[in-house]
């Protein structure tokens, strides 16, 4: 891989000194590698720096042009879908709002977690430095489909303020990928994502009891949005209905304690409908996905895409699964 001259901060141990505050996520200190380890990580620190910089260059060019087609060489999956939606939102926004429509994704990383897998696809997790806008650090997911393909940005999400990122093995030791046949976790990746979507759908006491929600701001955000829209529906003598769909694709790497961090997607579709003659006006963001000549009516359907990271403890652990961060973006809108 080519060397980069970018000033990218990533130490050999991939642990940067970091001043923690009350609202800052607590980042992990990787465990020292075992002297008896016979497997090697798929990437070195230097190779990681090169990948992050190369993806960052593609993002910077596409961000400037607001053209999603320019992303496809180094951005894929949920990241491509969400970034493309952000370009639509930015294109429709007023000048003062254009920059804030696109998530800042730092190129500089302070932690990197790499698989030792000799097969493909391969996964790399990384935690960014704090963005210049002082929003929470980004948890980044990169994938490589085959030996002949470059690593691509597959997903990102912002860490919850105050959350603790689970500890991973040191870069020199590497970690392992978790597959759908794994029986060592408290819940399989598909099942934990399904149960979390049920929490988003219904923040009942029973659903909350399945997770450690002490630092989870996402389910509260969804619950508050639902309450607001249900109240709005009452005002126009109508209804608000929503659906949650878990994405089939996910990524998971083993943590030092035998658990794993699972990163997956949840798609939401919400429809607000009023009585005949009522008008449901779309927001400025929602208008970005509507035809300009489309007139408002008594109904509006909005689609949103979420990426969520969930720590799943080992099967014999007394801990509960807990979400460590999320990103949520509007990705579509229509007038039924």
pLDDT tens by residue, 127-182: 999 999 999 999 999 999 999 999 999 999 999 999 999 999 999 999 999 999 89
Pair type for strands 138-144 and 299-312: unpaired
Note the pLDDT of residue 36.
Answer: 39
pLDDT in tens, 247-268: 999 999 999 999 999 999 999 9
- The model carries a pTM of 0.88
Which residues partner with 169 through β-bridges? 31
Helices first, then strands: H and E counts in the chain: 7, 9
pLDDT in tens, 298-321: 999 999 999 999 999 999 999 999
| Positive or negative: CA dihedral 145, 112, 213, 218 | negative
Note the pLDDT of residue 29.
Answer: 56
Model confidence at 54: pLDDT above 60? yes
Q: What is the mean pLDDT of the chain?
A: 89
Please report, rounded to a whole number, the percentage of residues in the chain having pLDDT higher than 90.
Answer: 82
Q: What is the CA radius of gyration of the chain?
A: 21
Burial (CB < 10 A; 0-12, 13-18, 19+), residue 149, is middle
pLDDT in tens, 33-51: 444 345 788 899 999 999 9
Model confidence at 6: pLDDT above 80? no
Per-residue confidence band for 293, with pLDDT thresholds at 50, 70 and 90: confident
Note the pLDDT of residue 24.
Answer: 58
Please report, rounded to a whole number, the percentage of residues in the chain having pLDDT higher than 70.
Answer: 88
Note the pLDDT of residue 267.
Answer: 98
């Amino acid at each position: 891989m080519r060397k980069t001259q970018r000033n990218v901060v990533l130490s050999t141990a991939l642990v940067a000194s970091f001043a923690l505050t009350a609202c800052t996520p607590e980042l992990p200190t990787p465990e020292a590698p075992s002297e008896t380890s016979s497997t090697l990580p798929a990437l070195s620190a230097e190779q990681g720096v090169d990948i992050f910089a190369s993806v960052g260059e593609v993002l910077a060019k596409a961000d400037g042009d607001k053209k999603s087609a320019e992303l496809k060489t180094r951005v894929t999956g949920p990241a491509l879908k969400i970034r493309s939606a952000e370009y639509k939102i930015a294109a429709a926004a007023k000048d003062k709002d254009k920059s804030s429509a696109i998530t800042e994704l730092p190129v500089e990383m302070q932690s990197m977690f790499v698989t030792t897998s000799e097969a493909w696809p391969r996964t790399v997790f990384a935690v960014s430095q704090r963005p210049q806008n002082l929003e929470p650090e980004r948890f980044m997911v990169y994938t490589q489909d085959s030996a002949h393909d470059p690593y691509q940005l597959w997903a990102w999400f912002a860490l919850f303020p105050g959350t603790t990122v689970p500890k991973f093995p040191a870069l020199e030791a590497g970690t392992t990928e978790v597959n759908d046949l794994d029986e060592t976790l408290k819940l399989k990746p598909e099942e934990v994502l399904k149960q979390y979507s049920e929490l988003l759908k219904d923040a009942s006491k029973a659903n909350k009891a399945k997770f450690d929600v002490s630092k989870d701001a996402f389910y509260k955000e969804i619950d508050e949005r639902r309450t607001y829209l249900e109240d709005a529906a009452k005002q126009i003598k109508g209804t608000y209905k929503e659906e949650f769909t878990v994405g089939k694709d996910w990524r998971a790497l083993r943590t030092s304690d035998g658990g794993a961090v699972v990163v997956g997607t949840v798609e939401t579709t919400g429809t607000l409908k009023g009585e005949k003659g009522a008008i449901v006006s779309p927001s400025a963001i929602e208008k970005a996905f509507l035809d300009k000549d489309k007139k408002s009516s008594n109904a509006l359907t909005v689609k949103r895409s979420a990426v969520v990271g969930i720590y799943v403890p080992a099967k014999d652990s007394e801990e509960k699964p807990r979400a460590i961060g999320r990103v949520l973006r509007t990705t579509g809108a229509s007038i039924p």
